Amino acid sequence: MSHFDLTLQEEHVAQLRDLLQREDGVEASAYVLCGEAQIRCDPWGNYSRRRATSYEVIPVPPEDCVSASKGHVTWSTASFVKLLKRAQAEKLVVGIVHTHPQGLDCFSDQDDRNERELVRMAQNRNGTEASMISVLFAGADTIRARLWHDTTEPVLAKSVLVAGKKLSFHRADIQTDLREIFSRQAIAFGDDLNQQLRHLKVAVIGCGGTGSATAALLARLGVGQLLLIDNDRVEVSNLNRLHGSRRSDADAMLAKVDVLAREITGWAIGTRVVPMNCWVGDAACRDALKSCDVVLGCTDDHEGRLLLNRLAYFYLIPVIDMGLAIDPSPAGGFRELSGRVTVLTPGAPCLICRGVVDPIIAREEHLKRTNPELYDRQKREAYVRGGGNPAPGVVTFTTATACAAVDELIQGLTNFRGTDGWLWNQTRRFDRFQDRRPGAEQDTHCPICADRMYWGRGDVNPFLDRAG
């Protein structure tokens, strides 16, 4: 076990700051229950990883507080033991949180001793499989975390991410070698964005017109790790909009992901690309998906979108989903000609509440994938609508939608448009110079985006709690 990282819900960070901030500058503590993602093999590094996601913040009851000063905090373990019981029943991991108000941004020897004692207690009660997370709020805005999986040495988190209205990083190992390639971008945004992008792991789901543009833009922006997922091959009719593709790729029927990976790797601007020629719902790409910090959804399949819609909330991995609607009117002009970009993360309305995914079409797609014969029969008998004529595709509109989505990623990392963070939903009507921000009729009982039971839940069985 050598790699660990933690993602906190922005709302939980605010709750923790409220609980832990003391006027008198004295240390304080709280608990955070976490979900967990187990990754056997990170697609870029081939190592196993554990990623924790904050699930619920719990204050230390006042009667448990023993003593605190500017250099220490001690509390009785009664509430800790209670929490261990709950963690075991709900398959969550107990996290303890404390502060270093003076700003010391690493764990102290005293922390080591105290925490080792707590892990021992956790393993005595819940078995040797039990682990414990420790989170440190140092000074005004530094967050560090580590994982204890036994009583010997803890694993320091490579990074702590905070996901909410924006995406922020707390890293212990700042890389300082800045590449000349991205120097002009640094003039615009400073070195900080380049550093963050270099460490970022981003998935592009669907590598057609929109997806190929998105992947190309992400690489040029300086994203260090790209995961490409798509199960299609290049066809001649794709060549009008598929960035990086050649006529010979269509003749050779190469996979879209392989073509795109070849092109981006050939640029030699430091992007490590992992192509996966499969459908996003295939178990084969689960580890890879869970390894990402952000997902760009460029698929037009409804079943795939339903999966990403859950992934965003379960694993606190923001999904920036895009869609393009081109509907020429027989009378001339267009009934619809718009690109859409939607951000999915706890706090944002989900794709079901926005009416973007159609569960009936998703069901038909599922049937087509799993039982093509039955699907064909039902299509003949008109039980399913089936795919009609080929969808229209124009490179400027697919690429413009990709630009808007990647801009949204930059907004989430930098707040360059102001301090409001992501825009949950935006559409651009290309034939009317019209930008809109359509709201959502959020179902107050939506299990994904209204209820919080899935937020930060991490691994469950079945994956994403989807039956069938």
Count of C-beta atoms within a 10 Å radius of residue 329: 10
Using CB under 5 A as the binding rule, whether residue 143 contacts Zn ion is answered as no
Q: Of 320, 331, 329, give the one whose Cα is nearest residue 167.
A: 320
Least distance to Zn ion, CB of residue 319, Å: 13
Strands 49-59 and 29-39: antiparallel
Pick out residues in 336-365 that bind Zn ion (CB under 5 A): 350, 352-353
Least distance to Zn ion, CB of residue 437, Å: 18
Q: Give the nearest residue (CB) to Zn ion.
A: 446
Least distance to Zn ion, CB of residue 463, Å: 19
- DSSP E strands in 206-318: the ranges are 225-229, 272-276, 294-297
Please, which residue, 28 or 285, has the CB nearer to Zn ion? 28
- Show Cβ contacts of residue 326 under 8 Å, excluding neighbours closer than 6 positions: 334, 336, 337, 391, 392, 393, 394, 397
Using CB under 5 A as the binding rule, whether residue 446 contacts Zn ion is answered as yes
**Of the candidate residues 449, 454, 458, 459, the single one contacting Zn ion (CB under 5 A):** 449
How far, CA to CA in Å, does 149 sit from each of 129, 195, 381, 459?
Answer: 7, 30, 57, 17
Identity of residue 295 = V
Pick out residues in 99-138 that bind Zn ion (CB under 5 A): 108, 111
Using CB under 5 A as the binding rule, whether residue 67 contacts Zn ion is answered as no
Helices (H), 254-328: 256-267, 286-290, 302-314
Site string for Zn ion, 211-240 (x = CB under 5 A): ------------------------------
**# binding residues, Zn ion (CB under 5 A):** 8
Least distance to Zn ion, CB of residue 148, Å: 14
CA distance linking residue 106 with residue 197, whole number of Å: 24
Give the range of 211-219, 269-277, 318-326, 442-450 binding Zn ion by CB under 5 A.
Answer: 442-450
Please, which residue, 288 or 353, has the CB nearer to Zn ion? 353
Least distance to Zn ion, CB of residue 73, Å: 7
Please, which residue, 276 or 464, has the CB nearer to Zn ion? 464
SS3 373: helix
Please, which residue, 160 or 353, has the CB nearer to Zn ion? 353
Rounded to whole angstroms, the maximal C-alpha distance in the chain is 78
Binding site for Zn ion (CB under 5 A): 108, 111, 350, 352-353, 446, 448-449
